[in-house]
Chains A and B, each alone.
Chain A
Amino acid sequence: NAGVTQTPKFQVLKTGQSMTLQCAQDMNHEYMSWYRQDPGMGLRLIHYSVGAGITDQGEVPNGYNVSRSTTEDFPLRLLSAAPSQTSVYFCASRGLAGWSGELFFGEGSRLTVL
C-alpha cells in the first residue's frame, strides 16, 4: 500500500531558486493538504484542496503555490525560495466527506534553502 508519496525526500536550494515538491496519493481521497513543520512551531497548514480544481489557502500560504489537476496529485511550488522556507514539508490526505475523516501523512520532504 503506497498511501501518500512525497518526492523528493531531501532538497537543497539556493535563495531565489524555484522548485516543486510532489505529492501523490492512491487512496482516491478528495481532500489533500500541505503542512510545514518547524521546531517549536508545530505543524502549520500551507494550502489545501477539497477536490480536483479546488484549492485554498491555509495559515502560512505566502511564497507557495498549489494546483490540483487530478484527484491523485497535489504539487507544492516554491516560487522564489528564501531561507525562511527551510523546513520539513508534509503532504496529507483524507477520504471521507466533511471534516470527520482520518488524516494520512506522507514521509516528508526536507528542504534547506541556503
Chain B
Amino acid sequence: KQEVTQIPAALSVPEGENLVLNCSFTDSAIYNLQWFRQDPGKGLTSLLLIQSSQREQTSGRLNASLDKSSGRSTLYIAASQPGDSATYLCAAGAGGGADGLTFGKGTHLIIQP
C-alpha cells in the first residue's frame, strides 16, 4: 500500500526566504505526483502536476521536482511572501483500482512578514 509522508509537518520562515517542502512515497510505480495548496476553511487548489516521465514542473515562483527512483518530490518556493502561508499537500497517483491517489498529511507553512 502506497504511503506518502510530508516533512516537516509545520514550518515558519521569514518573508523573502527560499524554502523546500518535502514529499516522500513508498511505491515508486506512480503515474504522477500533484502538489496542492489549501487555505484555512477552503478547498484544495492544484499547484503543479508532474507526470511520471517528467523530472520537474515550474509555475512562477514554484518549482516541483520528482525522483521516482528515490521516492521523493520537492516543492521549491522562491522569495517567499506572507500570501504563501497555507497548508501544502502532495498526492501520489498510482493508478489501478479506486482513485489511485494517496495524499500526504501536508506541511503547514507560515511566512512571517
Contact = CB atoms under 8 A, between A and B. Distances in A.
A64 interface: no
A56 B34 contact: no
B78 to A, nearest CB: 22
A103 interface: yes
B14 interface: no
Contact of A99 (B31, B41, B43, B46): B31
Contacts of B36: 105
A107 B98 contact: no
A90 interface: yes
A102 B91 CA distance: 11
Interface in B19-74: 31-32, 34, 36, 41-46, 49, 51
Contacts of B51: 100
Nearest to B94: A99
B100 A99 contact: yes
B45 A100 contact: no
A98 interface: yes
A71 interface: no
A40 B105 contact: yes
Nearest to A99: B95
Interface band, chain A: 20 to 34
Interface string B99-113: 111011110000000
Given A42-B103, A45-B101, A98 B45 contact: no
Contacts of A41: 105
Contacts of B103: 42-43
B32 A42 contact: no
Interface of A: 4, 33, 40-43, 45, 48, 56-59, 90, 92, 98-100, 102-108
Interface of B: 31-32, 34, 36, 41-46, 49, 51, 89, 91, 93-96, 98-101, 103-106
21 contacts: A4-B43, A33-B99, A43-B91, A45-B98, A45-B99, A45-B101, A48-B98, A48-B99, A98-B31, A99-B31, A99-B94, A99-B95, A99-B100, A100-B93, A103-B34, A103-B91, A103-B101, A105-B44, A105-B45, A105-B46, A108-B43
